[in-house]
Amino acid sequence: MIPALARDAILAGARLNGGRDRDLLELEVLNVLSTVLQLRSIELHRLECDGDLRRSWCRARIAEGEPTATFERPVNELVQAVTWDFTQPQLAVPRQRADDGLWSCIVALGDPREPVGWINLTSAREPGADELRVVGALLGIYANHLALLDYSERDTLTGLMNRKTFDDSFLRLLSDPRMHRERPLYDRRQDASPADHWLAVVDIDHFKNVNDTFGHLYGDEVLVLVAGLMRRSFRNADRLYRFGGEEFAILLDRTPDLYVGAVLDKFRVRIADHWFPQIGKVTVSVGYTRLSPGDSPSSAFDRADAALYFAKHNGRNQVHG
């Protein structure tokens, strides 16, 4: 049975976040586990696909009871496969570290065949079997909350974020003081020029012809494949949306002015080079704009949409900003 403290805290955290803020929910889960198990530290790591490369990032951390803001830092060594399913009681066995005498335990997040991350627990003593069962139960609750978030926030066909989540994400981004922080050293798009946030709007060229010629079933397959190519083309910190029909949007995390056009054009080329089953070749047009602190979602979208309009009416299959 889950201790009352853990149960009440996790549910209070979900109510506090309105069930809609993943970052705060992650910190709340870590806070509950840290309190229940009296941990020295706890970290939540996520796996991401950066193009064809899989890397892990530390998303949130609590050390000695002090939570940090959600953050990201690289883990440069190769990512080891984690085989535990966090919805099941089978968990990693705690191991004592020779360097400091502390006990460490890693618990996988997600399907054992394709984990989405893991939680690293560090304790001054070895966690008991009952405590590890509590961890499994709490992470099961966490998984249920994430499933509810996915159901309400994601497009059912492509799995991308849906249109109704865009405004909230946009306003959180612009109100976040980290919007103006310096780029981390590991950002491969680093340059001497300032790194800003950007909004790009993507439209599949002549998509109506695809539906009219091949039918909506093949049209849906094109949408799913385009969404998959988007995931492979952008970073985990970039937010990807399906706005409806054949229109997509991208909130690009800090990217220097020098690179943003090239990043988007690389995605455009990736689409143009892909062979879509039964359909053949498909192209996209892209319009983009730089985000400013005073922007509203509608004003930024109107600018990006105007750039998209220019691209579509000047030959399509191009990027304009």
- The active-site residue out of 26, 28, 131, 246 is 246
Q: Is 182 a catalytic residue?
A: no
- 202 forms bridges with which residues in the sheet? 248, 286
Q: Where are the domains of the chain?
A: 4-153, 161-320
Give the integer Cα–Cα distance in Å for 81 and 56.
11
Q: What is the CATH number of domain 161-320?
A: 3.30.70.270
Backbone angles phi, psi at 173, to 5 degrees: -60, -45
Out of 2.40.110.10, 1.10.10.10, 3.30.450.40, 3.10.20.90, the CATH code matching 4-153 is 3.30.450.40
**Residues 23-71: tens digit of each pLDDT:** 677 777 787 777 777 788 888 877 665 545 556 666 677 787 565 544 4
pLDDT of 295 higher than 80: yes
- Among 9-18, 115-124, 157-166, 251-260, which stretch is predicted with the lowest mean pLDDT? 9-18
